[in-house]
Amino acid sequence: MKTLDLILQRWRIRKARRFIPRGGQVLDIGSADGALFKALESHIGGGLGIDPTLREPVLVGKTRIVPGFFPKDMPEGAAFDAITMLAVLEHIPESEYGALRQGCLRFLKPGGRLIITVPSPLVDHILKALKALRLIDGMSLEEHHGYQVEQTAGIFPPPSFRLLCRKHFQLGLNNLFVFERGK
């Protein structure tokens, strides 16, 4: 990753951190190299990452990251205090939203937090320009599927989920959503 990619990634992690309970178990969907777990190692009690780009499981500190797609490739029996999807939802095809929602319900403890960051639609154009200038790597930019930010609350509706927070950040180019799983 290039420097700008890392800066944007760290910014997303900082936004998510305040909603992750200290000592909590975290599932990071789309965890790539485990940057979230590296940044939060002293804050969380542990967790699991899942990422389709991995070929084999890896260990990042006390956290295991497994290859595969959520939720179909998840290990059985896990329950988490928080699930994160940082710059991930825009890569998931609309046909998978139902399975995604059901997976979050299955693996998130009642009262647990679902923390999502998703870019505004304008970001795709900016990222393409930055990628052309070789200022970013633009990880999997071709997978954005024309995601519209307004869809997010509808993917995780009440009463199963309650929207706790929606904020813009990165000069309005990114969005943070925090949901709480119903009890």
Residue 21 has pLDDT above 70, yes or no: yes
- Please say whether the beta carbons of 181 and 105 come within 8 A: yes
Q: How many domains is the chain partitioned into structurally?
A: 1
- Tokens coding 41: 């190692």
As a whole number, the mean pLDDT across the chain is: 90
Q: The domain spanning residue 121 has which CATH number?
A: 3.40.50.150
Tell me the range of 6-10, 42-46, 76-80, 171-175 where mean pLDDT is highest: 42-46
Output the pLDDT for position 142. Answer: 53
User: Using H for helix, E for strand and C for coil, what is the string for the chain?
Assistant: CCHHHHHHHHHHHHHHHCCCCCCCEEEEECCCCCHHHHHHCCCCCEEEEEECCCCCCEEECCEEEEECCCCCCCCCCCCEEEEEEECCHHHCCHHHHHHHHHHHHHHEEEEEEEEEEEECCHHHHHHHHHHHCCCCCCCCHHHCCCCCHHHHHHHCCCCCEEEEEEEEECCCCEEEEEEEECC
- Please say whether the beta carbons of 156 and 166 come within 8 A: no
Q: Convert the pLDDT of each residue in 106-119 to its tens digit.
A: 999 999 999 999 98
Q: Convert the pLDDT of each residue in 27-57 to its tens digit.
A: 999 999 899 999 999 999 999 999 999 999 9
Query: Can you name the residues that pair with 108 across neighbouring β-strands?
Result: 80
Among 10-19, 117-126, 141-150, name the one with the lowest average pLDDT: 141-150
The pLDDT confidence band at residue 143, using thresholds 50, 70 and 90, is: low
- Output the pTM of the full model: 0.90
For residue 76, the enclosing domain spans 3-181
